[in-house]
Structure 1
Amino acid sequence: MNFKSYPTATWLLLAGFTVAAQANETEQLTDLTVTADLRDDTTIREIASSVSVLDEDTLSEAGVQHFQDVLGLVPNLNWAGSTSRPRYFQIRGIGERSQYEGAPNPSVGFIIDDMDFTAIGGAATLFDLQQIEVLRGPQGTRYGANALAGLIHIRSQAPEYNQAYHLETTLADQGTYAAGFSATGALGDGDKAAYRFAIHQFQSDGFRFNDFFNRDDTDQKDEFMTRGKINWQLTDHWTADLTLLLVDINNGFDVWNPENTFTTHSDDLGIDNQRSTGFSIRNTVEATAFDFISISSYTDADIQYFFDGDWGNDAYWGEFAPYDFTSNNDRERNHLTQEFRLVSHTDARIFNDSTDWLVGFYAAQLDEDNVINDFFNDEVYRDFYSSFEATNLALFAQLDSHLTANTKLTTGLRFEQRKSDYTDNGGLDLSPEDDMWGGQLSLQHQMNPGQTVYATLSRGYKAGGFNLSPSLPESRRAYDPEYLLNYEIGLKSLLLDNSLSLNISAFYSERTDMQVSTSVQEDPTDPLTFVFFTGNAAEGTNQGIEIDWLYQLSRNWSMFGSIGLLDATFDDYVTVDDDFNGRQQAHAPDYTYHLGLSYLSDQGWFARADLNGSDGFYFSDSHDQQAQKRDILNLKVGYQSDHWSVYAWGRNVLDESYAVRGFYFGLEPPDYADTLYQHLGDPQHFGITALFDF
C-alpha cells in the first residue's frame, strides 16, 4: 500500500486530530458486546478474531437510511452495486458480486435479529438499530457454510420496561424525505413482559435523470420498514424473545448508460423490489448446569428485478433501431432455520473445573423459485423457470479451556451436510450433496486488564454448486466446495486510562478449490447472451492487516478510524484466454480506510467529519478493467438536547465520482466492441434530520 496515494485532505484531517486534543477530563471507554457470538454478552476483547461493532451512536451519527451509508467505516469490507441497495458483499476480497438466477451459494452471511437475509441484504435499513457487527474471517464453528469470508450481524433495539417514544424525520435534496416512529414499554402492570414497535418510511428520487421520460425519479427509493418485538419473562428461568419484521422495498433501478454518466436513456424502467417478512423466536431456559437456547426463524422474500438490457430507446439507437432487450426476474424465497444450544455455566466446567463447553445442532431449509423472462424487440427471447431446495444440517461444539487465570484456549468444530435439489424447464435436474467441516483453534492471553493478544487458526467452507445457463458446455456446469484456512494474530487494547480503544490484527488465508465467478458473452451481437458462471480455480491467497481505533481526546472531542490492508491474489488460475496467476482478485482493493473526528460541546452543539475510501480494484475475474480509487467526505453538524436534536448533513460533499460496479462486454451496434460500463456511486447529497424523544 502506498500512503502517498491518500489525498491531502486526509493528512489535514490527521493534523486536526492533534490540534483538537485538549487537557480536560476524558470519558472512559468500555468494551462493546458482540451478540453474534455463541455465548451471549461476549465482548470484542473476548473474541479471538477481527471484529467491527458499529453501535447505536455510530449508526445515528454516521448514517442516514441504510447499511450502505456506514459500509465505509469497516476495514476490508466492499460491496458490488448490481442492485439499488447493497446485497452482495466482499470481506477480505471474498464474496459474491451478483445473483441473476437460482441456486444461491453465498460466502458472506447476513443476519438480522436471528433471521437469515444472506444475499438479500437490501432489507438492512438503519432505523431503530442497536448495532451492526462485522466478523471478518471464516466463522467455521458459528455459521458454517454461509460464512466462508465472514458474517454481518444486525441487532435492532431491545424492548425496555420504561415507557419511551421516539420520532425522527428527514428532508433532503433529490426529493428525499423520511419519517420514523418507535415506542417501547411494559406490557401490562408487571415486569414480566415488554414490547418495542418501530415503523419507518423513506422516499427519494435518486440521482439520475432519464431523458426519454424527462423524469428525475426513475432511480427512486421507496423503502418501508416495520418491526415488533416482545420480551417475556415466562418464569424465573425462562425468557422468550419474539421479533416480527416487514420490509417493503419498491425501488427503481435506472443507473446504466453507454456514456457512464448520471443521465440515462432507458425506455423500459428498471425495478428492484423486495418484500420481506419474517419472524424469530429465541427461548433461553436456565438449568442448573447450563443454559438451553433455542433460536427459530423464518423469512419469506418476494423479489422482482427488471432491467432494460440495451439501456436506450429507438431514438437513441437511431438507424440501429429497433434494438430493445429487457429482462425480468421474479424470485420467491423461503428460509426456515432452527438452532439448539447447550451453553455451560461457570460452575459446570469440565476437566478439573477449567473448561467451559457448549454443543449445538443447526438445521435450515431454503426454497427458492426463479422465473426469468427475456424479451428482444417485444418478442419472447427466453422463458426460464427454476426451482431450488437446499437442506443444511450441522453439529457443532466448542471448548474454552482456561490454562491459567489469564490464558484461554478455544477449540471449536462444526460438521455440516448440505443436500440440494435443482430443476428447471431446460431439462436440468441435479441433486448434489456435500459433507464439510470447519472450526477454529485459538489462544488468548490477557497481558493486563486492558490488553489481550490472540492467535487463531480457523477453517471455513463453502458448498459446491452448479451453473444454470443452458448455453454453457457440460464441463462448466458443476463446481466443487471451496475451503479456506485462515491464520490470524491480533492485539485488542484499552489504553491511556481507558480513553483509547485500539485493535490490530494480521491474517493470512489460503483458499483451496477457489470458486471464481466469471462471465462470457456467447453471441457478441446479443447482450442477453452475456452470462455469469462459476468454476474452481486452483488456489488463492488473501492476506493483510486490519486496524481500528477510538480515542476519547477529551470530554468533547473524539477521534476514530480504521485501516484495512489487503493483498488478495490468484496463485494458480489460468483460463483459455488469460493467465491470472499473481493478479488481484475482483472487488479486493489494496486498502480501505476511514478517518473521523467528532465534537460535542457542553452546550449541546455537535459536529462530525468522516473521510473514507479505498484503492481501485478489478471489477471482475474475467477481464482487467478496474475501478479508480475513491475518497468520500461526509459531514454532520447540529444541536442536541436531552429530548430533541436537529442536524444538517452532507454526504460525498466533495462530489467525488466513483464506481461501485463495472461490466465489460459488447453492447453498442454496429461493431459491438467490448467496452467498460460502470455503475456510478451516489453523488453529493445534503439534508436535515430532526429527532424527538418523549
Structure 2
Amino acid sequence: MRFIPSLLTLAVCSSFSLQANEAEASIERVTVQGDLRQQSVQQLAGSIAVVSEQDVKRTSAQHLDDLLNQFANVNFTAGASRGRYIQMRGIGERSEFVDTINPSVGILIDGIEYSGLGISGISDLAQLEVFRGPEATRFGANALAGMLNLTSKGPTATPEGKLSATLANYNSRQLAAQYSNSVNSQLGYSFALEQQNSDGFIDNAFLNRDDTNNIDEFTGRFKLRYQASDALALQLVTHFVDQDNGYDAFSLDRNRTTLSDEPGQDQIRSKAVALQADYTGLAFATVLAQLSYLTADSDYGFDEDWSYVGIHPDEYATTDRYLRARDQLTLDYRFISTPQGKLAGSDWVFGLYAANKSFDLTRQFWNWDLWQADSFVSELSRSNAAVYGELTTPLSSGWSVVSGLRLERYDDDYSDSSGNAIKNHDTMWGAKLSLNYQVNTQALVYLLASRGYKAGGVNGDALAKAVGGDLTELNSKASFKPETLYNAEFGVKGSALDQSLTARVAAFYMWRDDMQVKGWLNPNSGPQFAGFIDNAGSGRNYGIEMENRLQLHPQLALFLSASWLKTKLGDYITLDGENFSGREQAQAPRFQYSVATDWYISDALTFNLSLQGKDAFFYSDGHNARSKRYELVNARISYQLADWELAAWTRNALDKDIGVRGFYFGNDPRDGYEPHVYEQFAEPRRFGISASYQF
C-alpha cells in the first residue's frame, strides 16, 4: 500500500497550484443529485462514485449488474434472475425469502425507493451515484452501508431523441427509445421505453431447453415538468416495470446445465408515481418536496430438488414459491437555506420524512413435518417518521464543519396464518460530522465520522414452524433489534484544472453493533429447520478505496478504481457449534479493481478496453464456501457517422465462470446427498452489435 500516500499527495498538490478564479471558469462540475444540497462531487465529504451515460457505454452495460463490477468495494448477489442484493464495504444482505428484510444498501430511482426490487433498464440513465458508508442523515434506515441513487433523463427545452437496438448471443436483443421536448416555455415532457429479451445462459438437459433462465423485461418511464410560476416548478414522474424472467440457475452437476423438471420464475410488475415540487418563493429557504407511491407484485419460485422425478430412488421432488405484494407511500419535505436565510453565517437543511409500507406474503411450499403441500401467509405494516437536518459552518479560509442528525421512529404490525401477532417499534438515530478543508474548488481534504442504522424485524419463519412445539428457544428470537454502524473516514479529492487528472481516495474504519446475522433452529426435532435473524454478532470492516482518471494524451484516457478491504466477524457460533468468530464476513472480497481506457483513434472511431478483477470471498456467514478469484475483460469498438453510432462489443471475453451466489449443503441423491459448494454463475462470454440514432 506504499502508493497510497503518494496518491493522496498527488491529489492535493495537483490542485494547490491552480488559481481559484481560473478554476471557477474551467472546472467540470459533476453535481451529486442525491445530496441534500446537490453539491459538486469534489466539494462533498464522503466516498461517492458518479457514473454518467458515457461510463455505461464504455462497458456496453445493459443492466445494473453489468455496471457494479467497476466500483471499488461494491459487490452483489443474485439468487434470482437478476442481482438484487448489494453489499458495500462487505455489508449487505444476500437474499430475502420468508422474512421481510431491511436492506443495508438501498436503491432510489428518480427519488422513488426500489430497495429489494432491483433495477430493470438503464438505457435512459442520466447519472448514477454510489454512496459508500453510512448515509443515515440523508437516506435513513435503507443506507446503513450505502445507497445507489439513479436519475433518469428528463424534459428538455428543445426536441431530443434516441433510438437504439442491440443483438447479442444467447438470442439476446434490446430495443430502446427516448424522447424529450417542451410544449411551451412552461411545460416539458420526456419518455423512455425499453424491452430486453434473452434465452439466458442455462441449458436444461432434462427438458431439452435453453431458455428456462430467460430474460423478458419491459421498462417505461415518463416525466412531465410544469413551471407554474417563477418560484414554483412541478414535476410528475411515472414508472412501469414488467419483468417476466425465468429462474433455473443451480445445477446438481455444478455447471451451467440443469436437470429441473419444474423450472421456476422471477416475475415482478411494479408501478410508481411521484409528484415533485421546487419552490423558491421564500426569502430564507428553498423548499423541495416529493410525494411518491409504489406498488409491486412479485412471483418468485424454484425447483427445490434441481432435478426430475426418477433421477434416483432416494430422490425428493418439491418446489418453493413466494408471492409478494408491496405498497408504499412516502413523503419528504426539505427546506434548504438561501444566502439570506443563513443561521449565524451557516448554511442549513431541515427535513421531514414519513412513509407507510405494507408487505404481504403467500408462500407455497412442501411441509416436511406434515408431509404435504402447505402455505404460509404473513402481513407486515410499517410506518416510519423522521426529522433530519444538516448544518454547514465555515471556520476560516477554506475550513468548514458539516454536522447532520436524523431521528427516525418505526412501528411494525405483523401477523401471519400461524396465529402470530407481534408489534415492534423503535427510535433510531443517525449522524455525521465532518471537518473539511476546501483547498480550492477542485480539491477537498476531509475527516468524517458517521453513524448509520437499519430497522429490526420479526422472525416469522421460525415462529410459524415452531407452532405446536417448544417455544422456549424462540422466546428471545421472535424479533431482532436494529443494527448500528459507526464509520470513521479520511478522504482526499482533487482534479487538475484541465481535467487531465482526477483522483479520489478514502480510507475508512467501521464497526458494527448488534450485527444482524442469519441463524437456524430445529424447534420440533424434525427434518425441518427454521431460519431466523439474530443480533448475536459484531463486526469490523476497514480498508481503502480510490477512483482516478488520467488523460494520458488528447486521444487516450485511463480510468482506475481499486479497493482493499479487511473484515472480521465478532463472536458468532452457529447452532451446529461451528465457531466463525474472527472470520472474514460474507461478500467481502479483500481487493477489487477496474482499469479501463478510452482510445479515440479518430474523430469517428473509438476503442474501449477494460479489465475488472475481484478476490475470492465467502458466500455466507454460516459456512465456509467461497467464490473464486476472477478477472473480466471487456472490449468495445464504435464508429460515429453523423447522428448514427455503430458498435461491436464483448463482455467477459475470457469466458470466466463467476459465482454470484453460493450454498454449501447436500442436494444430490446420486452421491448420497454429499455436501458440495453449489454456485449460481453470472453471464459467460457475451458478444454483440449495437446501433443507435440520435436526433
When normalised by structure 2's length, the TM-score is 0.92
2:648 match: 648
Aligned residues: percent identity? 35
Q: Distance in 1 between matches of 2:347 and 2:120?
A: 34
Letter in 2 for 1:590: R
2:271 match: 277
Q: Does 1:489 align with 2:490?
A: yes
Shift of 1:382: 2.5
Q: Distance in 1 between matches of 2:279 and 2:440?
A: 34
Q: Does 1:356 align with 2:347?
A: yes
Q: Does 1:64 align with 2:56?
A: no
Aligned CA distance change for structure 1 residues 522 and 218 (closer, same or farther; 3 Å): farther
1:243 match: 237
Task: Select between 358-367 and 370-379 the one with higher mean Cα deviation.
Answer: 370-379
| Partner of residue 265 from structure 1, selected from 247, 251, 259 | 259
| Partner of residue 116 from structure 2, selected from 71, 96, 119 | 119
Letter in 1 for 2:342: R
1:551 match: 550
Letter in 2 for 1:314: V
Query: Per the alignment, in what secondary structure is the counterpart of residue 570 of structure 2?
Result: strand
Does the 8 A contact of 1:63 with 1:126 survive in 2? Answer: no
CA deviations on 1:348-385 (whole Å, 9 max, x unpaired) are 2121xx20011110001110100000147998433100
Aligned CA distance change for structure 1 residues 281 and 666 (closer, same or farther; 3 Å): same
Does the 8 A contact of 1:324 with 1:376 survive in 2? Answer: no
Does the 8 A contact of 1:373 with 1:380 survive in 2? Answer: no
Does the 8 A contact of 2:60 with 2:636 survive in 1? Answer: no
1:327 match: 320
1:689 match: 690
Aligned CA distance change for structure 1 residues 423 and 308 (closer, same or farther; 3 Å): same
| Partner of residue 83 from structure 2, selected from 77, 82, 86 | 86
Does the 8 A contact of 1:163 with 1:184 survive in 2? Answer: yes
Letter in 2 for 1:513: D
Shift of 1:395: 0.4
Does the 8 A contact of 2:60 with 2:649 survive in 1? Answer: no
1:254 match: 248
- Alpha-carbon RMSD across the aligned residues, in angstroms, is 2.1
Query: Per the alignment, in what secondary structure is the counterpart of residue 206 of structure 2?
Result: coil
Task: Select between 399-408 and 432-441 the one with higher mean Cα deviation.
Answer: 399-408
Task: Select between 596-605 and 151-160 the one with higher mean Cα deviation.
Answer: 596-605
Task: Select between 229-238 and 473-482 the one with higher mean Cα deviation.
Answer: 473-482
Shift of 1:533: 2.2
Aligned CA distance change for structure 1 residues 404 and 259 (closer, same or farther; 3 Å): same
Aligned CA distance change for structure 1 residues 655 and 666 (closer, same or farther; 3 Å): same
Which runs of 5 or more structure 1 residues have no equivalent in the other structure? Answer: 4-27
CA deviations on 1:421-469 (whole Å, 9 max, x unpaired) are 1110012211110111111001110123432100111011111222122
CA deviations on 1:53-100 (whole Å, 9 max, x unpaired) are 111111122243211111011111111121111111111111110001
2:210 match: 216
1:34 match: 32
2:96 match: 99
Query: Per the alignment, in what secondary structure is the counterpart of residue 137 of structure 2?
Result: coil
Q: Distance in 1 between matches of 2:114 and 2:677?
A: 31
Letter in 1 for 2:215: K
Q: Does 1:175 align with 2:166?
A: no
Letter in 2 for 1:296: L
Does the 8 A contact of 1:521 with 1:665 survive in 2? Answer: no
Q: Distance in 1 between matches of 2:453 and 2:283?
A: 35
Letter in 2 for 1:162: T
2:387 match: 395
Q: Does 1:665 align with 2:661?
A: no
Letter in 2 for 1:346: P
| Partner of residue 55 from structure 1, selected from 52, 55, 61 | 52
Q: Distance in 1 between matches of 2:274 and 2:59?
A: 28
Q: Distance in 1 between matches of 2:300 and 2:113?
A: 20
| Partner of residue 107 from structure 2, selected from 102, 110, 113 | 110
2:301 match: 306
2:330 match: 337
Does the 8 A contact of 1:327 with 1:374 survive in 2? Answer: yes
Give the length in aligned residue pairs.
661
Does the 8 A contact of 2:404 with 2:431 survive in 1? Answer: yes
Does the 8 A contact of 1:410 with 1:441 survive in 2? Answer: yes
Shift of 1:158: 1.6
Which runs of 5 or more structure 2 residues have no equivalent in the other structure? Answer: 4-25, 467-472
2:362 match: 371
When normalised by structure 1's length, the TM-score is 0.92
Q: Distance in 1 between matches of 2:442 and 2:349?
A: 27
Query: Per the alignment, in what secondary structure is the counterpart of residue 212 of structure 1?
Result: coil
Q: Distance in 2 between matches of 1:551 and 1:640?
A: 24
Does the 8 A contact of 1:309 with 1:325 survive in 2? Answer: yes
Aligned CA distance change for structure 1 residues 77 and 619 (closer, same or farther; 3 Å): same
Shift of 1:174: 0.3
Letter in 2 for 1:682: E
2:127 match: 131
